[in-house]
Structure 1
Amino acid sequence: MKACVHIIRHCPYSNLLVLSIYLLLSCSFRPNNKRLKEIRENYESGKWKTYSSQRLSDTIRNTNSNNIQAWWTIFNDPTLDSLEELAVKANPDIITAIARLDEARANVKLSASDLFPAIRFNPSATRNQFSQNRPNPFQTTGNQLPGVIINTFQLPLDFDYEIDLWGKYRNNVQAAKHNYASYTADMNGVLLSITTDVAYYYMQVRVTDLKINIYTKALQTRKDNLILTEERYRVGLITLLDLSQAQSDYQTIQSQFYDLQNYRNAAEHALAMLCGLPAFSFSLPKKDWNIQLPQIPEGIPSDLLKRRPDIQSQEQRAEAANAVIGVYKAYKFPSLILTGSAGTLSREVNTLLSSDSKTWQLGATLSLPIFLGGRNTALIQMAKARYLQTTAQYERVILSSFREVEDALNTLAQRKEQSILQDSIIKTAELTAMLSRERYSKGLVTYYEVVNNERTALNTQSIAIQIRGDQFTYTIYLIKALGGSWQ
């Protein structure tokens, strides 16, 4: 090494030599990531800025892409908190995503190994017998070579190293690193998807419980009406038509009540699977539930979209695809491989470690592709096509994220107004149903009027609960669309 440094220092072209070595070692055919930058700058300069004309926060939010916040705590529901914690620890999809991430991490190390020389210890022992009838150009007619037995014992260290002149291996490492980053984002995406699904099905269970409550009351009301109708029919005050309508109304509510129970069971089973539990072992007790909707701040900064796992993942995939182009371009240029071997070789074991048995070999191989039938050109074209696919998908994910946020915000705004209106509708419908029951008890109307008005009152209450459920559902969708809460 000292001799090499001495030669470089005293070489009249030493500066040029150092510059040439530096350029060779730093050369890379990875293209400029122009398309990805154009897409990113397009949305950063304009469409990233706002969803609406409302005031936006000026705070730049730096989030850790390796961790999804416990966003569900905004609902202040201890049962939901415990379910989310269980799902994060035991959900099979999350465990699978973590294993994929470990695989991608190992692949980075595997790719980086090409940057280092390979040194192998290859001891061997052979015993060869040469034939007496082996060819010999100097052999005279009738003479026969003697048979020879040769023992060979060898303790070599073999060395080979390809100098990364054109960045083939460095770009491969960069591609592996970007793929690892994309798998990290994918894992966060799985976490976000699982936790939002848990919240969704939990809300479905609680909303269904509210509906079951009103149907339980409605079923008792219909039963009382049926008893009253049967008594009035027995004394001849009403016709069989009124009695059959009361019976049909009671049975219809019973049937709808069973449908609600079945829907609740299905939501429970979905929760069990998300939490990594068998359905038969999971049960969510009914309880009084009056959780308030979280307050969504005005002017959510659209920069939050940048932390969406799917956007981060697709961006990293585009970066990886771009690096692969550089890998394949390097295949069209010469490769320089250094080889060497050093060790001992002897015909006897007892002299194997002596100084007279030492042996070594150094060599270099320059490989230049001349004709491969267009293979390298095809590889480059494939890599460029894949890069264009990833950038197009990157833009699609961005556009989809804006749509999802707008859909959630618009639906929440509409449901808020609809909820206020529905409260007024419920009061009117309940009053109408009460007046109909009073008129029926006095014999002023038929039971048909009672049935219609009570069905209307029940439907208005059910719709109100459904509106409330939609408000929770689209709050969850908004959180998912923003990549994990608006905070």
Structure 2
Amino acid sequence: MSRIVFGGGVGALAMLAAACSPTVHPPAATSVALPEQFTFQDTRQTGQGGTPIAALLPEHDPGFRALLAQALAEAPDLAVAAARIDAARAGLREAGAALLPGVDLSGQAAQQRISAAQFGGLPGAVRIDPYQGRFSLSADARWEPDLFGRLRATQRSGVARLNAATADATAVRLALVCDIAVALTDLRAIDRQYALLRDDLAQAEAFTALTVQRAHAGLAPDADVLSARAQVERSGGRLTTLEADRAAVIGRLVTLTGLPTDRVLATLATGSRDAASGPVALSPLAISTLALRQRPDVRAAEQRLAAADADIAALAAERYPRFDITAGLGLIALALGDLFTEQAIIGSVGANLSVPLLDFGRVGARLRRSEAAGAEAFAGYRKALFTALGETEAALGGLDAAAKTAAALNQQAALDRESADLAEARYRRGLIGFLEVIAAKRDSLTSQELALLGDADVQRRRIAVYRAVGGAPST
């Protein structure tokens, strides 16, 4: 490495910079093509009048809105993401500060004792003060004009990494919103099942009392009484199982939100009146494949690609000369009383030029490693984009199938409920046996539970679509 100190020639150096500056092309993120529309989406769903993405969440449930508002302020995952943003922002500030001049202020005070003997024999008339002092105060400035763009490339990398951290935080927020929505959907489905089984238990107890009366009157065998009581015990056992499932979902919400259990339960009670209702009907969705490029994880991958490109530019610039401008102003004196006199003032100004001559391929090796990291970042971006496409296609297809299944299950539940009511009426008139009534009631209960689970599956599929396309624009 050769270092030359000179006082002029800046214009010539600028011309050298223009001729030798490394050329690095921007990331080719937009070169990854996507289809114009989703395969599993009806072409009628691409109009502007379709359902907005935000409507896919259970916004009609006040409990969801209240719980989400508290979770966004308390959730541990969001706190971790915010800390990563702060770290990236600090890195960007450091990169920006490198473009500005640096000024150091230093001072020195020293006192030493010397011996006249160290100077050999001195004439008698020459006397040396054995105590020597040195006092100084100086301000030194240094600035690199960054003629070849190394520092600016580092700053671009910092900007891209901050953007990537922000997109990562948005992805964490999106995942939190969707996970809370899914957990709340599970909880509301459990509550609806619980209410259904509780009604079934009450009906089974009433039917058991009727069966006992008929048995005492000789109108029904004792075996019918045992079957009726077994039905009561079966419904009671199912309720206990649902209570355990509900506790597990509450635990999930506590983990997601970072809220204590009592606050979660109190917040959920806000929307308990909506637990009996299924998902609201929606018109066709208005989704474009262009929305996938704005998905948080895709944006993060694109920004990491931009950061990798900037890193390549910064490393490439290390092959070119580095130019620094320096200046200093200070005071120096042998006595403290003389430090602030005019004679103590010193100063300097200059420029340094460092030209790499021989590094045995160190920079080249680092550059090749950085280029490999750039290729990896591009592959990561492409993977993120097609992951988004695949997840959205699967979510759209699943939602369509779930909606059709839920419609069929609800229709079947209505028919089975009518059949069970008819069977009970016929039993009361003595037209059919007890086993036929039990079978009809079991079929009705099963079909009603399946309809409830079908409705819940529709809501989960809607949330999956919301997550797959990256949420609403404000998420």
Partner of 1:14: none
- Kept in 2, the 8 Å contact 1:75–1:291? The answer is no
Residues 236 and 56 (structure 1 numbering): CA distance in 2 closer, same or farther, change over 3 Å? closer
**The one of 8, 17, 31 aligned to 1:24:** 17
Per-residue deviation, 1:419: 2.5
Deviation at 1:399, TM superposition (A): 1.0
Mapped contact 2:419–2:440 kept (Cα < 8 A):
yes
SS of aligned partner of 1:339: strand
Which amino acid in structure 2 is aligned with residue 259 of structure 1? T
Give the corresponding residue for 1:325.
312
* Contact persistence 1:76–1:291 (CA under 8 A): no
Q: Map of 1:362-381 to 2, 5 A cutoff? A: 362-372=349-359, 374-381=361-368
Q: Distance in 1 between matches of 2:432 and 2:58?
A: 51
Q: Per the alignment, do residues 348 and 55 of structure 1 end up closer, same or farther by CA in structure 2, a change over 3 Å counting? A: same
The aligned residue for residue 4 of structure 1 is: none
Q: Unaligned regions of 5+ residues in structure 1, if any? A: 1-6, 9-16, 60-68
RMSD of aligned residue pairs (Cα, Å): 3.4
Query: Residues of 2 paired with 1:484 and 1:293: CA distance?
Result: 19
Matched, 1:248 2:241: no
Provide the residue aligned with 1:171 in structure 2.
153
Structure 2 residue 407 is matched with structure 1 residue 420: yes
- Aligned partner of 1:359 in structure 2 is 346
Task: Tell me if the contact between 1:54 and 1:299 (Cα under 8 Å) persists in the aligned partners.
Answer: no
Give the match for residue 477 of structure 1.
Answer: 464
Structure 2 residue aligned with 1:13: none
1:314 aligns with 2:301: yes
Amino acid across the alignment from 1:464: A
- In 2, Cα distance between equivalents of 1:109 and 1:486: 28
Whether the 8 Å CA contact 1:30–1:325 is kept in 2: the answer is no
In the TM superposition, 1:60-459 aligns within 5 A as 75-130=59-114, 148-231=130-213, 241-283=223-265, 284-285=268-269, 286-288=272-274, 289-290=276-277, 293=280, 295-372=282-359, 374-438=361-425, 447-459=434-446
| Matching residue's letter, 2:464 | Y
Residue 35 (structure 2) aligned to one of 37, 47, 51: 47
The residue type paired with residue 117 of structure 1 is P
Q: Does 1:466 align with 2:422?
A: no
What is the identity, as a one-letter code, of the residue corresponding to 1:105? R
Moved more, 22-31 or 299-308: 22-31
After superposition, the C-alpha distances for 1:231-280 in whole angstroms (9 at most, x for unaligned) are 55566766665444333332222121122222223333433444432113
Paired residue type of 2:399: L
Q: Summarize the Cα distance change of 1:150–1:428 in structure 2 as closer, same or farther, 3 Å threshold.
A: same
Q: How many residues align?
A: 454
**Residue in 1 aligned with 2:124?**
none
Q: C-alpha displacement at 1:290, in angstroms?
A: 2.9
The offset of 1:446, in angstroms, is 5.7
Letter aligned with residue 35 of structure 2: K
Normalised by the length of structure 2, the TM-score is 0.83
Contact 1:186 1:313 in 2 (8 A): yes
Amino acid at match of 1:47: P
Asked if structure 1 preserves the Cα contact closer than 8 Å seen for 2:330 and 2:346, the reply is: yes
Segment of structure 1 superposing worse, 320-329 or 73-82: 73-82
Q: Is contact 1:233–1:240 with CA below 8 Å preserved after alignment? A: yes
Shift in Å, 1:291: 6.1
CA 1:166 to 1:371, structure 2 compared with 1: closer, same or farther past 3 Å? same
Deviation of 1:364 (Å): 4.0
Change (3 A) 1:318 1:459: same
Instruction: Give me the whole-angstrom Cα distance separating, in 2, the residues matched to 1:420 and 1:372.
Output: 72
Secondary structure of the residue aligned to 2:273 is coil
The offset of 1:76, in angstroms, is: 3.5
Q: CA deviation at 1:304?
A: 1.9
Q: Identify if the C-alpha distance between structure 1 residues 186 and 296 changes in structure 2 by more than 3 Å, giving closer, same or farther.
A: farther
Q: Which structure would you say has the larger RCO, counting Cα contacts within 8 Å and 6 or more residues apart?
A: 2
Give the Cα–Cα distance (whole angstroms) in 1 for the partners of residues 24 and 47 of structure 2. Answer: 35
What residue identity is the alignment partner of 1:277? Answer: L
Using the TM superposition, give the Cα deviation of residue 148 of structure 1 relative to its aligned residue in structure 2, in angstroms.
4.0
Q: Deviations over 1:460-481 (max 9, x none)?
A: 1011111111122221222222
CA contact (8 A) 2:167 2:299 kept: yes
Equivalent residue of 1:345, what SS? strand
Q: Is the 8 A contact 1:30 1:322 kept in 2?
A: no
How far off is 1:79 after superposition?
A: 3.3
Contact kept, 8 Å, 2:58 with 2:181, in 1: the verdict is no
Q: Please list the CA deviations of residues 118-166 of structure 1 after superposition, one character each: whole Å capped at 9, or x if unmatched.
A: 11111121123346676x7xx58xxxx9784321111111122334233
Q: Which amino acid aligns with 1:115?
A: L
Could you tell me the percent identity over the aligned residues?
A: 24
Unaligned runs of 5+ in 2: 1-7, 122-126
Residue 407 of structure 1 deviates from its aligned partner by 1.9
Show CA shifts across 1:178-227 (max 9, x none). 11111221222222222222222222222222111111111112223333
Deviates more, 1:184-193 or 1:46-55: 46-55
The 1:132/1:432 distance shift into structure 2, 3 A limit, reads farther
**Are residues 249 and 29 of structure 1, via their aligned partners in 2, closer, same or farther at CA, if it must alter by over 3 Å?**
farther
Does the 8 Å contact 1:153/1:352 carry over to 2? yes
Is the CA contact (8 Å cut-off) linking 2:144 and 2:324 kept in structure 1?
yes
**Is the contact between residue 168 and residue 330 of structure 1 (CA under 8 Å) also seen in structure 2?**
yes
For 1:120 and 1:107, how far apart are their aligned partners in 2?
A: 22
Q: 1:295 to 1:486 in 2, by over 3 A?
A: farther
